[in-house]
Amino acid sequence: GDSVTQMEGPVTLSEEAFLTINCTYTATGYPSLFWYVQYPGEGLQLLLKATKADDKGSNKGFEATYRKETTSFHLEKGSVQVSDSAVYFCALSPANQAGTALIFGKGTTLSVSS
Amino acid sequence: GAVVSQHPSRVICKSGTSVKIECRSLDFQATTMFWYRQFPKKSLMLMATSNEGSKATYEQGVEKDKFLINHASLTLSTLTVTSAHPEDSSFYICSARPLGRGSGANVLTFGAGSRLTVL
């Protein structure tokens, strides 16, 4: 079945460092891909998404490009801030399966220090 | 934007009692809501899919008699943890998919979660 694999954390960075969190997926067809963020004690918030190959999702300085050839959707940010400290989840919505739940990776904890 | 409200955000109960968690879509209708359980090491486990007007579909290994799900309307789903035990202590998160088609229907909106502690 479909699955998502994220890099293991935690990721610890200094403020203004470059961030990459790797995400690869296994799926049939063209799933939709998402990054969600969870701040401490809160639920998940959609960070960005891409629905077809070569799409780039972006929000709050974060970017991720849907790469069909490498089945990847890596999250990047050029300069992280302390406020970016959170858990980041990569997820997919299976192709042609409207109404099904998202499939999540295990999450990557990001800790940014000043 | 779409907002999902979850209540209560925190609940502490005694072992053997039942706890009800509500999930409401505030500004949109959702024929489908999903209940997840988040374990201490972050991973999200899908517990069940809740469909308005019909029985919930439970994932393998999830006890349907213990985790009762009711989707009474297009804006409300409830999860009742019956006869709770300490091992049921967890963070429960609901999510809702907007009614309709289009790329927006692929996006889930999540509630803020409910922290259950069973003593």
The pLDDT tens digits of the residues spanning A64-93 come to 999 999 999 999 999 999 999 999 999 999
Residues 6+ away with beta carbon under 8 Å from B60: none
Partner-chain contact A43 B112, CB within 8 Å: yes
Residue B1 has pLDDT above 60, yes or no: yes
Task: Output the pLDDT for position B48.
Answer: 95
**Any A CB within 8 A of B109 CB:** yes
Residue A45 has pLDDT above 80, yes or no: yes
Partner-chain contact A106 B109, CB within 8 Å: no
Q: Which residues of A touch B110 (CB under 8 A)?
A: 36, 43-45
CA closest to A5 among chain B residues: B43
Q: Which residues of B touch A57 (CB under 8 A)?
A: none
| Angstrom distance (rounded) from CA A99 to CA B45 | 17
C-alpha torsion B87→B56→A1→B103, nearest 10 = -120
**Any A CB within 8 A of B95 CB:** yes
- Place B37 in a pLDDT band, splitting at 50, 70 and 90: very high
Exposed e or buried b for every residue in B74-111, given b needs 16+ CB within 10 A? bbbbbbebeebeeebbbbbbbbbbbeeeeeeebbbbbb
**Any A CB within 8 A of B31 CB:** yes
Could you tell me which residue, A63 or B71, shows the higher pLDDT? A63
**Any A CB within 8 A of B60 CB:** no
Please tell me what DSSP assigns to residue A72.
Answer: B
| Lowest mean pLDDT segment, chosen from A19-33, A97-111, B66-80 | A97-111
- Place A98 in a pLDDT band, splitting at 50, 70 and 90: low
B-interface mutation test, from A42, A44, A52, A111, most B Cβ less than 10 A away:
A44
Q: How confident is the model over B51-84, as pLDDT tens digits?
A: 888 889 999 999 999 999 998 888 999 999 999 9
**Any A CB within 8 A of B111 CB:** yes
- Place B86 in a pLDDT band, splitting at 50, 70 and 90: very high
Task: Output the pLDDT for position A7.
Answer: 87
**Inter-residue contact B6 to B22 (CB < 8 Å):** yes
Q: How confident is the model over B88-110, as pLDDT tens digits?
A: 999 999 999 877 655 555 678 89
Task: Output the pLDDT for position A107.
Answer: 93
Residue B92's DSSP bridge partners are B37, B114
